[in-house]
C-alpha cells in the first residue's frame, strides 16, 4: 500500500513539473507564416516532392546496404568458425543466399522506382 501511494505521488509530482501550459495565439491563418519563420530559423527551405522522396529512398538504401553488410560479415564469421562442421556452414550459406536475394529485390524495387519517377518528371 505504501509503495503504491509513493509511486502515484512520484508520478504526479514529476508530471506536474513536465506539464507546461500552452497558450494558443493567433489563428490558423497565421500558422503558415509562423511555420515559414520557424523553417527559416532552422535553416530549411521549401523542397519539391521529388527531392524529399529521393532523400528518403537514399536513406532507406543506405540502411539496406548496412544491413546487408552486417549479415555478410556475420555469415562469414559463422563460416570461418565452423571448424569443418556442416551445420554452421549450411546456416552461413542460407544467410548469404537470403541476404543476396533481399539485396537483389531491393535494388530491383529501386530501379523500378527510378524508372517510374523519371516518367513523371519528364
Top pLDDT among 10 and 114 is at: 114
Q: What is the pLDDT of residues 25-67, one digit of tens each?
A: 555 566 666 666 766 676 666 666 667 777 788 888 889 989 9
The reported pTM is 0.56
Residue 23 pLDDT > 90? no
Question: Looking at residue 16, what is its pLDDT?
Answer: 57
User: What is residue 81's predicted lDDT score, i.e. its pLDDT?
Assistant: 94
Spatial distance between the Cα atoms of 33 and 70, rounded to a whole number of angstroms: 45
pLDDT in the model for residue 21: 54
Amino acid at each position: 500500500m505504501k509503495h503504491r501511494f509513493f509511486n502515484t505521488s512520484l508520478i504526479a509530482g514529476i508530471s506536474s513539473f513536465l506539464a507546461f501550459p500552452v497558450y494558443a495565439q493567433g489563428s490558423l491563418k497565421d500558422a503558415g507564416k509562423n511555420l515559414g519563420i520557424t523553417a527559416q530559423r532552422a535553416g530549411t527551405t521549401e523542397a519539391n516532392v521529388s527531392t524529399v522522396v529521393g532523400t528518403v529512398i537514399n536513406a532507406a538504401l543506405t540502411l539496406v546496404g548496412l544491413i546487408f553488410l552486417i549479415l555478410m560479415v556475420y555469415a562469414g564469421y559463422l563460416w570461418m568458425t565452423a571448424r569443418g562442421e556442416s551445420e554452421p556452414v549450411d546456416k552461413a550459406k542460407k544467410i548469404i543466399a537470403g541476404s543476396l536475394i533481399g539485396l537483389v529485390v531491393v535494388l530491383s524495387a529501386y530501379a523500378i522506382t527510378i524508372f517510374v519517377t523519371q516518367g513523371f518528371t519528364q
